[in-house]
Amino acid sequence: MTSIVADPETPPDQETRGLASDTSVYGRVNGLIVHRLSKDSPVARAQRAQLRGALGREVGTVPEIWDLTLDDRSGYLGDAPTRGENAVHGALTLWALHQGSNSRPMHDSSPHPRSFASAIRVVAEGQRGERRAEETPVYRRFAAAVQAPTFAGLLIHLRSLVSQLEAAEIPCSYAGLAADLFTWQDPSRRASVMRDWGRQFARTSQPIQSETASDK
């Protein structure tokens, strides 16, 4: 969801209370990664490891990351995870996998960040040779993700795709991915996410920069 723009200089405690909208999950994920989780400190490294360990786990079942992934609004929010919690948990755990041992940031927090689908297009360009991008192995995996019937199934496909982004060291916006994951869970808006991802993949990919805005 590239229309959402968050100020990377805004601390995560401001304008990110609650996870009731695509904008709020965008702000939560962007703020946490930029201001806390990307730091080269023992605490940040431990939190990244905890997030990787939470991949595939149900929201709320890993106490070490409660403060990162759970909705902090007051009142009863229901027994099941909220859409916002699902989106933030999914995006942060996938980012932690992507960051891995990469020395430069894999979350693109620049003013015009690369979307997840655009990053997949870069991988496809590297695989295509004389073929169309739509004939590459990564495209087939991406198409399967887009058409996943359940949120859990979508995350399984995304995890496979993120592993390829990690290997290629291609950054993308995990805040934007979180916003899309939030929207995807609304059946009436799911098709719009699919169209957005399709359009982003179809565009000519941007060259990979040697340094992103978050490196500076």
> What's the number of domains the chain is made of?
1
Confidence at residue 194, expressed as pLDDT on a 0 to 100 scale = 96
Residue 12 lies in a domain: no
CATH number of the domain that residue 108 is part of: 1.10.520.40
Residue 7 lies in a domain: no
Residue 127 lies in a domain: yes
Q: Which of 31-35, 138-142, 203-207 has the lowest mean pLDDT?
A: 203-207
Q: For residue 100, is pLDDT > 50?
A: yes
Q: For residue 2, is pLDDT > 50?
A: no
Residue 172 lies in a domain: yes
Residue 5 lies in a domain: no
Cα of first residue to Cα of last residue in the chain, in angstroms, is 24
Q: Which domain holds residue 152?
A: 22-209
Residue 149 lies in a domain: yes
> What is the helix, strand, coil percentage profile of the chain, to 5?
55, 0, 40
Residue 4 lies in a domain: no
Give 123-132 pLDDT, tens digit per residue. 999 998 889 9
Using pLDDT thresholds of 50, 70 and 90, give the confidence band for residue 205.
Answer: low
Degrees, nearest 5: CA angle 37-148-124? 70
Residue 2 lies in a domain: no
Using pLDDT thresholds of 50, 70 and 90, give the confidence band for residue 211.
Answer: very low
Using pLDDT thresholds of 50, 70 and 90, give the confidence band for residue 1.
Answer: low
Confidence at residue 73, expressed as pLDDT on a 0 to 100 scale = 84
- Backbone phi, psi, residue 131, to 5°: -90, 165
Q: For residue 6, is pLDDT > 80?
A: no
